[in-house]
Structure 1
Amino acid sequence: MNYFNLQQMRYLFLVLSFCATNLFAQNSIQGEMTYLVSMDKNDFKKVENQDPNVSKRVNDLIKNSHDVYFILSFNKNESFYKKSEVLKNDAQGSLNLTEIMAGNNNTYYHNSQDNSNVMVMNVGGKDYIVSKPKVEWKLLKESKMIGEFLCYKAIVMNNTNDIVAWYAPSIAVNHGPNSFNGLPGLILELKNNKLSYLAENINLKPKKVEDISRPINGEKLTYEEFKKKFGDVFKE
């Protein structure tokens, strides 16, 4: 009887050890990835203006826009999204409409524990911390492979624009690009109006992980206050 109990205890110990190891691995997940952000120029109608110079400038701006890169750093509960340092050092000097539409110098923080979803932006030399509303998703059964990851489709509910995301349940975090998050897996691809986001260089074992901390420096605004304060200047 004592031998049987000892065997049971050993088995229970092994099971608990295995569960603890898995739990630690899930809680310690971290990574960094690059999103290639591109603009569908065909979605823009040709701008016609009474001033031919204005029309030419706007149409040239659309024509000459090019793809940009943004970085998502994340752990199990938090993520931080920002423009790539390579992009910051880009010496082209001309305006890039894709970069502007993708968020430019804005940064984005997400915390899955308290559902914080904020955008940090600078206007006129002043920082603002804007709380973004929770994204309401509808999960679909459609699936496809993105690289080595099986991904499932989701769409945003009650939205005037077509927003489609593809997320990977095997990467068990609910983060994504820009302010899009809340899915049961990391978002690897997203189509939002005229912009497309595609994950590249997914690194789940980075040698060095950027510290992720909640933004605290800046005037705090709700999204409604933000829209009221700035009107359509920063319409998304």
Structure 2
Amino acid sequence: MRPIYLFIFCFFYFSAIDAQNKGNIVYRIVTDELKSQENHSQAKQSFYKLMNSMSLIRDSLYFNLDFKDSESLFYLDKGKNVGMSNERGYNSIIKSFSSVFYRNNDTKELIEQVSTDRIYLITSSTKDLKWEITNEEKKINQYLCYKAVTTIKARSLTKGDHFKKIQAWFCPEIPLNLGPNNFGGLPGLIFELKIGMLTYYIESLNFNPKAGTEIVKPTKGKEITRDEYFSLKPVITKENFKEYIGG
């Protein structure tokens, strides 16, 4: 993984962070590299090369986590990944990260606003996520972080419903129970979050924003549970493969 660069834009010591009720955290992504072997077919090597080139687009993205009082909003900053719009696969990658994540720690409400064929508001609760905090620790820059793991239900075109392991490194020194993609609820800010081949990491922290931070709860879209949303997504099997490729 590339070095984690953390730039702190804060006029207060972290011991006073719990007195802060608003701010902005910027996250970036680093993607695990797919490594082809000599015995791989030419088609597979070409596929790996394409996927790794598309990783450059993902790794150029910036994400904002805005928070104020009990509310937070996590979303892609579409204005910052400058210079990649002409790259192959750009539009599909941007679309795959277009969800907006809203969290309210007072009401325990989680909302993911997804835009596909239509707009959905996938609702859940902060109480649904159960973390296992381990004894593993490491320093990210000078900050001591602890490892936590959990599993979530996921759905893919080929696997269907399955469970995915999530790994987080959180820092109790910064007592915000927040993180990327509405992952939170830990006794400290999530500095790194690994989902499959993607790792979110903190680029910058700002606990003293010059402008007021306003959190706007997403309201546009059809309200739906995650299981209901999963039921709308097809699963490609050997039996129905041809209908999805137009055969």
Does the aligned pair in 2 maintain the 1:32–1:204 contact within 8 Å?
yes
151-160 vs 214-223, which moves further = 151-160
Query: What residue in structure 1 maps to residue 50 of structure 2?
Result: 61
Cα distance in 2, alignment partners of residues 182 and 43 from structure 1: 35
Aligned-residue RMSD, C-alpha: 3.3
Displacement after TM superposition at 1:143 (Å): 2.0
Cα distance in 2, alignment partners of residues 95 and 192 from structure 1: 21
- 1:5-50 deviations in Å (ceiling 9; x for gaps): xxxxxxxxxxxxxxxxxxx97364222121111211238999x89x
Cα distance in 2, alignment partners of residues 104 and 31 from structure 1: 22
Q: 1:90 to 1:73 in 2, by over 3 A?
A: farther
Does the aligned pair in 1 maintain the 2:23–2:213 contact within 8 Å?
no
Within the candidate set 187, 191, 195, 1:188 is matched to: 191
Cα distance in 2, alignment partners of residues 230 and 76 from structure 1: 35
The AA in structure 2 aligned to 1:144 is: K
The AA in structure 1 aligned to 2:216 is: S
5+ residue gaps in structure 2? Answer: 1-15, 154-162, 237-247
Cα distance in 1, alignment partners of residues 119 and 208 from structure 2: 33
Query: What residue in structure 2 maps to residue 167 of structure 1?
Result: 170
Displacement after TM superposition at 1:198 (Å): 0.8
Query: What residue in structure 1 maps to residue 98 of structure 2?
Result: 105
Q: 1:43 to 1:232 in 2, by over 3 A?
A: farther
- 1:77-105 deviations in Å (ceiling 9; x for gaps): 1111111221277433421599469x421
Q: 1:209 to 1:40 in 2, by over 3 A?
A: farther
The AA in structure 1 aligned to 2:111 is: V
Cα distance in 1, alignment partners of residues 92 and 36 from structure 2: 12
How many residue pairs get matched? Answer: 204
TM-score (norm 2): 0.70
Q: Share of identical aligned residues, percent?
A: 26
Cα distance in 1, alignment partners of residues 123 and 190 from structure 2: 20
Does the aligned pair in 2 maintain the 1:73–1:209 contact within 8 Å?
no
Q: Tell me the SS of whatever aligns to 1:143.
A: strand
Q: 1:228 to 1:157 in 2, by over 3 A?
A: closer
Does the aligned pair in 2 maintain the 1:169–1:186 contact within 8 Å?
yes
Q: 1:170 to 1:44 in 2, by over 3 A?
A: farther
Does the aligned pair in 2 maintain the 1:80–1:212 contact within 8 Å?
yes
TM-score (norm 1): 0.73
Query: What residue in structure 1 maps to residue 129 of structure 2?
Result: 135
Q: Which has the higher helix share?
A: 1
Does the aligned pair in 2 maintain the 1:128–1:219 contact within 8 Å?
yes
Cα distance in 2, alignment partners of residues 205 and 170 from structure 1: 17
Does the aligned pair in 1 maintain the 2:64–2:76 contact within 8 Å?
yes
Cα distance in 2, alignment partners of residues 60 and 71 from structure 1: 29
Does the aligned pair in 2 maintain the 1:37–1:98 contact within 8 Å?
no
Cα distance in 2, alignment partners of residues 90 and 79 from structure 1: 28
Residues 1:122 and 2:111 aligned together: no
Greater relative contact order, per chain length (Cα 8 Å cut-off, separation 6+): 2
Q: Compare CA radii of gyration and give the structure with the larger one.
A: 1
Q: 1:98 to 1:186 in 2, by over 3 A?
A: farther
Query: What residue in structure 2 maps to residue 37 of structure 1?
Result: 29
